[in-house]
């Protein structure tokens, strides 16, 4: 069952009532009635009995046409074709006797409207799309001749619908888009909503559910604003089918049920029947067979009442599938054969293939292979190579079983291979569709939530407007007081956080000065005391040289601290340059080859002060240790980034060491791990006889 797209409502136009007033100056009652029609047509709150009474009392043909056009739009599905036929006869009679002028133009518009509605009857009730398209082409010419933009937009929508049924998506999009442009130009919200719904339907068939939902929600928003319950129901129904495709059955049932309630209130029985079939299909998917059967049965009753051939076929197909699942094969066969006759009348190959295959499956189950072969091969002749991969896979599986049953193993192998190829295509399409859906799922859910909140707030706004007007002064004063309070609170919070950051910075600087500079100065003081007491011995033993070296290291440590807090060093390029310069300088003095590698584009990365300081000091400690203790000839440094994770890796080809033992003895490894923890990073040290690798990983801001 093609439950992925609901059928369109009647696109009847009623924008020409005003032209009939020239001929109605004595028919005051009808004038008031038509004014009321224009006021309430968006909400479809129309009194049919009043319109019928007005039709009996109308004295002029222009008035009769105006009332008949309203009845053709609002009357139930089993009545409106009769009113449309009367509209066409009256309009044609006047066209044959009137001369060119404004009055004749009015009747041309009514005649065009009636011809459009005849196309709807041919397409939706009789399944004759070719004849319907001829009607639409004639109506399009008449609408353009009479400069009826609204009617022209309606016909273009209907032509797009025919092309969509023929699966010519490019042509369908073209006509829907032309209709959308016309409706937008004349600010016809109903026409805009129709076109948006139709374009969304095409995108849904192409598998782009996100784009389809965007159009559907835009249409829903317009329909709610203009109180057009038919368009609102149509959009809700289409949104429900998208959720059905995505296997979000609770959401699908919720939207479809809302749509059905609105269609029932508006008397649109064809759409009610179609949604019943959709809901029945969802119930069957979720294992609720009895509820599915009842939905399809109700859909069949409604379709029979309005004479919807294609709808009867869909309902019977749903009933047949439920009966087969319940093991009632004889009743299922009888029902599916009936369904096939309706799809033959409607010339729907897609549905014919489904029913023929279902019948063949039942005969295979009953071991009646010859009968099964007849139906399955009939379905095979209707298959189009580039359409319905899942149906082709299902049919290929059926034929494979049938040919095995009749002993034609060569054909069975061919069908098995066809089944494999089609199944692979189905899987690929499903993966692609799911990938697209997941990619935009977050944006879709956020938009859906925003739209629902927006609709709810607009309804509440209308109901609470009077109360808001009375309380405006109080609300304004309260809002100002609240804003002042919030401003003071935010200001205090900002000041508090700034103080915290300053205090943290002072503590960190004090700690660094104490750990690095303080210890170095204490060492210099001690060495100076020894040198002062015995200068000759101090020079001979190298204490002066050590004091000089410690002074240089202290200056470097001070430079590092100043560099780490300097604002201009926020650019990661400066960090990389400093790391490269330090590594080249210290390795060159030790006669070690130095290699420094960075990922492309990493220079534009931003690091905070703490991250910048600690990554540099960890790098510096790792290089110092490698030069002093590794006894290697090559040091390789790489800086890379994957998503938000920055990775620093320092490797040498030295003799290695025991990391745990060395942490206890010193060499700065404990400091390196502490610094890694400060930036919530992970430090990993791997060392063996072939060399040492130190890896730092942490998340960037």
pLDDT, tens digit (0-9, with 9 covering 90-100), for 376-410: 888 788 877 766 677 778 888 888 888 888 888 88
pLDDT at position 503 over 80 = no
**Strand 634-642 to 593-598 pairing:** parallel
Q: Report yes or no on 634 lying in a domain.
A: yes
Q: Report yes or no on 643 lying in a domain.
A: yes
Q: Report yes or no on 680 lying in a domain.
A: yes
**pTM confidence score:** 0.49
Q: What is the mean pLDDT of residues 359-381?
A: 85
Share of the chain above pLDDT 90, in %: 12
Count of domains in the chain?
A: 1
- pLDDT tier at 644 (50, 70, 90 boundaries)? confident
Q: Classify 691 in phi/psi space as left (phi over 0), alpha (psi -120 to 50) or beta.
A: left
Q: Report yes or no on 670 lying in a domain.
A: yes
Please state, rounded to an integer, the average pLDDT across all residues of the chain.
78
Least confident of 114-118, 465-469, 602-606: 465-469
Structure token digits, residue 448: 């859906």
Q: Classify 287 in phi/psi space as left (phi over 0), alpha (psi -120 to 50) or beta.
A: left
What pLDDT shows up at residue 550?
A: 64
CATH number of the CATH domain containing 642 = 3.30.565.10
Least confident of 195-204, 239-248, 441-450, 635-644: 441-450
pLDDT at position 4 over 60 = no
pLDDT, tens digit (0-9, with 9 covering 90-100), for 251-284: 999 999 999 999 888 888 888 998 999 999 999 9
Q: Report yes or no on 581 lying in a domain.
A: yes
pLDDT, tens digit (0-9, with 9 covering 90-100), for 10-66: 333 333 333 232 333 334 344 444 444 444 443 333 457 777 888 878 888 888 888
Degrees to nearest 5, angle at CA 219 with 213 and 220: 85
Tell me the C-alpha to C-alpha distance, in Å, between residue 620 and each of 116, 119, 272, 625, 666. 82, 82, 75, 9, 15
Q: Report yes or no on 576 lying in a domain.
A: yes
- Cβ neighbours around 100 below 10 Å, total: 7
pLDDT at position 435 over 80 = no
Are the C-beta atoms of 573 and 603 separated by less than 8 Å?
yes
What pLDDT shows up at residue 161?
A: 87
Q: Report yes or no on 646 lying in a domain.
A: yes
- pLDDT tier at 1 (50, 70, 90 boundaries)? very low
- pLDDT tier at 630 (50, 70, 90 boundaries)? confident
Q: Report yes or no on 451 lying in a domain.
A: no
- pLDDT tier at 297 (50, 70, 90 boundaries)? very high
pLDDT at position 616 over 80 = yes
Residue 326 sits at φ, ψ, to 5 deg, of -85, 0
- The number of residues in the chain equals 701
- Which of 303, 349, 268, 238 shows the shortest CA–CA distance to 5? 238
- The range of the structural domain enclosing residue 649 comes to 570-699
């Amino acid at each position: 069952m093609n439950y992925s797209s609901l059928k369109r409502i009647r696109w009847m136009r009623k924008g020409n009532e005003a032209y009939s007033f020239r001929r109605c100056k004595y028919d005051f009652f009808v004038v008031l009635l038509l004014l009321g029609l224009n006021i309430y047509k968006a909400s479809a709150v129309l009194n049919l009995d009043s319109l019928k009474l007005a039709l009996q009392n109308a004295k002029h043909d222009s008035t009769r046409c105006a009332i008949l056009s309203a009845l053709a739009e609002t009357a139930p599905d089993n009545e409106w074709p009769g009113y449309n036929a009367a509209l066409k006869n009256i309009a044609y009679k006047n066209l044959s006797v009137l001369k060119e002028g404004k009055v004749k133009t009015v009747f041309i518009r009514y005649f065009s409207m009636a011809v459009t509605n005849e196309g709807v009857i041919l397409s939706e009730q009789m399944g004759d799309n070719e004849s319907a398209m001829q009607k639409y082409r004639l109506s399009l010419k008449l609408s353009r001749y009479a400069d009826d933009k609204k009617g022209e937009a309606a016909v273009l929508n209907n032509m797009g619908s025919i092309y969509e049924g023929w699966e010519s998506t490019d042509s369908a999009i073209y006509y829907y888009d032309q209709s959308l442009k016309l409706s937008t130009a004349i600010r016809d919200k109903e026409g805009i909503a129709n076109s948006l719904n139709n374009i969304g339907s095409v995108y849904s068939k192409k598998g782009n559910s996100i784009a389809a939902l965007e159009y559907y929600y835009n249409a829903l928003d317009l329909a709610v604003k203009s109180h057009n319950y038919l368009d609102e129901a149509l959009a809700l129904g289409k949104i429900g089918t998208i959720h059905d495709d995505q296997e979000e059955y609770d959401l699908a049932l919720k939207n479809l049920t809302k749509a059905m309630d609105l269609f029932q209130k508006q008397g649109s029985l064809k759409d009610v029947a179609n949604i019943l079939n959709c809901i029945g299909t969802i119930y069957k998917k979720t294992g609720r067979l009895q509820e599915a059967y009842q939905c399809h049965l109700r859909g069949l009753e409604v379709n029979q009442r309005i004479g919807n051939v294609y709808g009867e076929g869909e309902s019977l197909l749903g009933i047949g599938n439920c009966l087969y699942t319940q093991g009632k094969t004889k009743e299922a066969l009888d029902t599916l054969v009936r369904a096939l006759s309706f799809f033959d009348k409607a010339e729907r190959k897609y549905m014919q293939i489904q029913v023929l295959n279902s019948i063949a499956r039942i005969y295979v189950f009953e071991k009646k292979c010859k009968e099964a072969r007849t139906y399955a091969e009939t379905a095979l002749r209707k298959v189009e190579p580039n359409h319905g991969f899942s149906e082709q896979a299902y049919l290929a599986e059926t034929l494979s079983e049938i040919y095995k049953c009749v002993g034609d193993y060569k054909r069975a192998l061919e069908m098995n291979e066809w089944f494999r190829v089609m199944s692979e295509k189905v899987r690929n399409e499903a993966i692609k569709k799911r990938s697209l859906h997941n990619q935009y799922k977050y944006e879709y859910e956020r938009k859906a939530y925003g739209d629902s909140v927006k609709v709810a707030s607009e309804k509440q706004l209308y109901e609470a407007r009077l109360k808001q007007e009375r309380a405006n002064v109080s609300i304004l004063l309260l809002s100002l007081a609240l804003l002042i309070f919030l401003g003071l609170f935010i200001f205090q919070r900002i000041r508090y956080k700034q103080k915290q950051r300053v205090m943290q910075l002072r503590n960190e600087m004090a700690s660094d000065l104490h750990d690095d500079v303080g210890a170095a100065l204490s060492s210099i003081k001690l060495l100076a005391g020894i040198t002062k007491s015995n200068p000759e011995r101090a020079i001979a033993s190298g204490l002066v040289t050590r004091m000089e070296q410690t002074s240089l290291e202290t200056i470097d440590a001070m430079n590092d601290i100043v560099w780490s807090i300097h604002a201009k060093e926020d650019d990661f390029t400066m960090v990389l340059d400093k790391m490269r310069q330090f590594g080249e300088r210290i390795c060159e003095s030790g006669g070690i080859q130095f290699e420094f590698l960075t990922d492309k584009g990493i220079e534009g990365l931003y690091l905070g002060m703490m991250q910048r300081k600690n990554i540099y000091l960890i790098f510096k400690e790792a290089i110092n240790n490698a030069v002093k203790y590794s006894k290697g000839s090559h040091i390789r440094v790489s800086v890379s980034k994957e998503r938000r994770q920055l990775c620093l890796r320092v490797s040498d080809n030295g003799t290695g060491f025991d990391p745990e033992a060395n942490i206890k003895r010193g060499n700065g490894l404990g400091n390196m791990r502490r610094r890694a923890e400060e930036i919530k990073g992970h430090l990993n040290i791997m060392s063996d006889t072939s060399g040492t690798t130190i890896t730092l990983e942490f998340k960037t801001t």
